[in-house]
Amino acid sequence: MNLTFLNPLLLAGLAAAMLPILIHRITRKKAVVRKFSAVRLLMQSQRVTARPQRLKHLLLLALRMFTVAAIVFMMARPVVVRPGVAALPDNGARVLILDNSMSMGFREDGGERFEIAKKAAAATLTGFGGRVALIPTVRTPESPDVQWQTSQAALSTLQGTPLSFGRGDAVSAFRQAYQQLEKLKVPKQILVFSDMLRSDWEALNLADVGAITDAEINLFRIGGPGRDPNFCTKSVRLEEGEMVAGVSSALAATVSNLSDGDATLNVQLYLDGKKVDQKRVDPKSGADASVMFDVLVEKTGWVDGEIRLTGDRLAADDSFYFPLKVSDKVKVLIVDGDPGASLKESESFYLTQALRPGGLEGTPFLARVVTQSEMQRLDLQSFDALCLLNVARPDFSQPAAFLQAGRPVLIFLGDRTAPEGYNQFALSPWQIRGRIDRSAEAEKKTGVFHIAGALQFPAALQNSLKSASFYSYYQVDGGVKPLLTLQDQNPLLLAANAAKSRLYLFTSSADLDWNDLPLKAAYVPLLQGLLKEAVGLAGASLPADIKWGEPFGNGRRPVQTKGTAGGPGIYQFSRSGSEFRQGVNIPHEESVLVKLSAAELKKKFGPMDVQVVEYREDTFGKQQGGRRELWPLLLGVLLAVLAIEMVVANGILPFRKEAITK
């Protein structure tokens, strides 16, 4: 705290404080000479009162001298300057780093943290005459360039700085601040207003951004050092691949309880803006919980999905956006090379049943069974997948064209197939060799020994698959890694890229002739999964959502169809002439409201003098420092001193005695 004077020259008038002494000397000489009859009594009285009177006179003298000095002092306009944590001379340069990351949208009792931070930053600009640069921790293409401004202009820029939806980049903010300050030869200061979220500040390393040792750094934490409770949706995925119109799909939403206590969350599912389902879930503290929704969409095309949570103080991450692409049913052409007299005796019976286990309802596949001669008359362009079942010598011109069109072909061998015919297929990377037949020696039948990870077969059904017995199958050579391998190390299922699609080879039969797989529980999911994978319905069940602030990629001009304008939501853009949508969501790390402690923050700045101030609106005025004129205080003191002087000088005190009367 410093004391300065606005009119310091007037302090010379302090010499006037000697006036009371001079007046005392002068008046003493001019005392009235008075004859009196009882001087001896007076002297007696004087002896009694001499000591208190001397004290009184000294007190009066001191009071009068103080009065004169106080008047001179008042005229010199004393000002107390409290440096505070944000004090800076008017020739200084101040950089304000304002955390506008999503977490600053947390609602305190006194309002949104971001607004509190802006208010605190604005308070530091009041009365500051130096230059100011404002740097938000989340910059967007619309953000103005960082430049030096006057306090007034910086205040305007501050008010116009919006809350962002992404992660704060403290490293980048400090780098810009240092760039602004490094060439200046004036007092420098960096004031940071942030919640000091661990995810935003963990990466800050002075070695990366450089250090200006002559800059004073003050970190104002908004919202306290403790972890704030929050809930968010971490991810959403379709459990059974892409959605097919008219077929219900399982949609799993993973929600996170990012609080210190257990919670009950209400998870709501919205499709195209309409609430279609809601469920309650009770995740433990710090744990995730999964909520399953059964989703049925009747029409094909894009559907905008949203998972909404309620009950916390950070609204920005309460919604998770995801687009759903609803496809039409997969049309599968099955060429039966060994049609039987009855449907059950046909080679295609079990496969057909596997693709529509409950009838046409609820299956994503539309299967059509034809003979080899019928296939030659068909236009295969209307089909999404082609299955050749025990076809003796297929004309591979059609499958080749099919593969060129980007559609998969699945080949199932059998007793009627001629390997040499298949080996002539130019797109085939393997060679079919001799047949192994173990049907006569039942004890030597073999099962599935290995399931490749690439198949993504459900773990619960793997035992069922491994329990299947295979009596006959073809040996196949080629450098292709099999998806399924038999116990004798012969491949059962192979897949390879062919032309623009995939070619699959099942070395045994599709019916019960060479194996008992169709009777196993694993048969339906195996074939459905295989077909889904082949046509691209499996795998990434939803377009991967990107986090707010990440680029969409070159040339993409997205249009927002859902969500907060300019923020999280669903964006639509064109890719290869077709419409594509992508969900943009808050980075999950930004929802984890764990803060860096003051010690951790100081450690990041090494030997630099850094203050971490827990911001409180009611005490910020004191923390901020400032200047205060003292004349009102002095005036009050002066009046009090004058009153005391009057009382002492005029004897308006309890020991005043009245005259003696008879």
Partner 1 sequence: MNYYDPKVMAGVKNLFLKARSVVDGAMMGIHSSRAKGMSAEFEEHRGYAHGDDPRHIDWKAYAKFDRYYIKEYRETTNLRAFIVMDCSASMNYASNGMSKFDYGSTLAASLAYLMLRQQEAGGLITFSNKIEKIIAPKTAHDHLFAILKTLQDTVPQGETSAAAALQDLAASLKKRGMVILISDLFDAPQRVAKGLRQLRARGSEVIVFHILDPAELSFPFKEPSLFEDLEEELTLMADPRAIRSAYLDTLRQLMAEYRRICFSNQIDYTLFDTSIGLDRALTRYLTWRQKFRVR
Q: For residues 210 and 178, is the Cβ–Cβ distance under 8 A?
A: yes
CB of 56 to partner 1, least distance (A): 7
Please say which residue, 554 or 650, places its beta carbon nearer to partner 1: 650
CB of 30 to partner 1, least distance (A): 8
3-state secondary structure 47-91: HHHHHHHHHHHHHHHHHHHHHHHHHHHHHCCEEEEECCCCCCCCC
- Does the protein bind partner 1 through residue 49 (CB under 8 A)? yes
Cα-flanking dihedrals φ and ψ of residue 58, to 5°? Answer: -65, -40
CB atoms within 10 A of CB 421: 15
Please say which residue, 46 or 266, places its beta carbon nearer to partner 1: 46
- Does the protein bind partner 1 through residue 38 (CB under 8 A)? yes
- Does the protein bind partner 1 through residue 26 (CB under 8 A)? no
CB of 119 to partner 1, least distance (A): 60
Please say which residue, 55 or 401, places its beta carbon nearer to partner 1: 55
User: In the set 298, 342, 440, 655, which binds partner 1 (CB under 8 A)?
Assistant: 655
- How many angstroms separate the CA atoms of 154 and 132, rounded? 6
- Does the protein bind partner 1 through residue 34 (CB under 8 A)? yes
Please say which residue, 60 or 72, places its beta carbon nearer to partner 1: 60
User: In the set 5, 56, 353, 561, which binds partner 1 (CB under 8 A)?
Assistant: 56
Please say which residue, 38 or 442, places its beta carbon nearer to partner 1: 38
- Does the protein bind partner 1 through residue 46 (CB under 8 A)? yes
CB of 641 to partner 1, least distance (A): 20
Beta bridge partners of 220: 193, 613
- How many angstroms separate the CA atoms of 311 and 466, rounded? 48
Q: For residues 451 and 457, is the Cβ–Cβ distance under 8 A?
A: yes
Burial class (CB in 10 A: 0-12, 13-18, 19+), 77: middle
Please say which residue, 27 or 382, places its beta carbon nearer to partner 1: 27
CB of 645 to partner 1, least distance (A): 14
User: In the set 2, 4, 45, 424, which binds partner 1 (CB under 8 A)?
Assistant: 45
Tokens of 604: 């990041």
Instruction: From 630, 625, 600, 621, select the one nearest 612 (Cα to Cα).
Output: 600
Beta bridge partners of 136: 98
User: In the set 57, 481, 556, 575, which binds partner 1 (CB under 8 A)?
Assistant: 57
Please say which residue, 53 or 439, places its beta carbon nearer to partner 1: 53
Query: Which residues, including other chains, have CB under 8 Å from residue 79's CB and lie 6 or more apart?
Result: 3, 4, 5, 6, 627, 628, 629, 630
User: In the set 1, 9, 26, 33, which binds partner 1 (CB under 8 A)?
Assistant: 33
Please say which residue, 16 or 648, places its beta carbon nearer to partner 1: 648
Residues 614-653 contacting partner 1, CB under 8 A: 650-651
Please say which residue, 183 or 656, places its beta carbon nearer to partner 1: 656
- Does the protein bind partner 1 through residue 51 (CB under 8 A)? no
Please say which residue, 6 or 652, places its beta carbon nearer to partner 1: 652
Please say which residue, 600 or 645, places its beta carbon nearer to partner 1: 645
**Segment interacting with partner 1, rule: CB under 8 A, options 31-39, 84-92, 217-225, 614-622:** 31-39
- How many angstroms separate the CA atoms of 483 and 450, rounded? 8
User: In the set 12, 42, 454, 519, which binds partner 1 (CB under 8 A)?
Assistant: 42
CB atoms within 10 A of CB 216: 20
- How many angstroms separate the CA atoms of 92 and 181, rounded? 10
**Segment interacting with partner 1, rule: CB under 8 A, options 26-34, 100-108, 168-176, 345-353:** 26-34
**Segment interacting with partner 1, rule: CB under 8 A, options 36-44, 141-149, 338-346, 463-471:** 36-44
**Segment interacting with partner 1, rule: CB under 8 A, options 27-35, 70-78, 311-319, 613-621:** 27-35
Provide the 3-class DSSP secondary structure of residue 635. Answer: helix
CB of 27 to partner 1, least distance (A): 6
Please say which residue, 426 or 660, places its beta carbon nearer to partner 1: 660
Please say which residue, 6 or 23, places its beta carbon nearer to partner 1: 23
- Does the protein bind partner 1 through residue 274 (CB under 8 A)? no
CB of 639 to partner 1, least distance (A): 23
Could you tell me the CA-to-CA distances from 500 to 140, 329, 399 in Å, in that order? 40, 21, 12
- How many angstroms separate the CA atoms of 365 and 380, rounded? 16
- Does the protein bind partner 1 through residue 25 (CB under 8 A)? no
Tokens of 201: 């500040």
Q: For residues 203 and 171, is the Cβ–Cβ distance under 8 A?
A: yes
* Residues in the chain, total: 662
- Does the protein bind partner 1 through residue 48 (CB under 8 A)? yes
Query: Site size for partner 1, by CB under 8 A?
Result: 33
CB of 646 to partner 1, least distance (A): 13
Angle in degrees, 0-180, between the axes of helices 113-125 and 151-160, rounded to the nearest 10: 170
Please say which residue, 39 or 460, places its beta carbon nearer to partner 1: 39
Please say which residue, 32 or 599, places its beta carbon nearer to partner 1: 32
- How many angstroms separate the CA atoms of 427 and 417, rounded? 18
- Does the protein bind partner 1 through residue 656 (CB under 8 A)? yes
Residue burial 438-469, b: 16+ Cβ < 10 Å; e: rest: beeeeeebbbbeebeeebebeeebeebbbebb
Cα-flanking dihedrals φ and ψ of residue 191, to 5°? Answer: -110, 125
- How many angstroms separate the CA atoms of 637 and 434, rounded? 115
Residues 577-596 contacting partner 1, CB under 8 A: none
CB of 18 to partner 1, least distance (A): 20
**Segment interacting with partner 1, rule: CB under 8 A, options 5-13, 40-48, 428-436, 632-640:** 40-48
User: In the set 2, 44, 404, 463, which binds partner 1 (CB under 8 A)?
Assistant: 44
CB of 58 to partner 1, least distance (A): 12
Q: For residues 355 and 273, is the Cβ–Cβ distance under 8 A?
A: no
Residue burial 510-535, b: 16+ Cβ < 10 Å; e: rest: bbebbbebbebebbbbbbbbbbbbbb
Which DSSP letter does residue 464 get?
H
User: In the set 6, 18, 39, 639, which binds partner 1 (CB under 8 A)?
Assistant: 39
User: In the set 7, 53, 431, 597, which binds partner 1 (CB under 8 A)?
Assistant: 53
Tokens of 83: 């440096």
The DSSP-derived string for 86-149 is T---TT-EEEEEE--SGGGG-EETTEEHHHHHHHHHHHHHTT--SEEEEEESS--TTSPPP--B
CB of 63 to partner 1, least distance (A): 15
Contacts with partner 1 by CB under 8 A lie at: 27-28, 31-46, 48-49, 53, 56-57, 650-651, 655-662
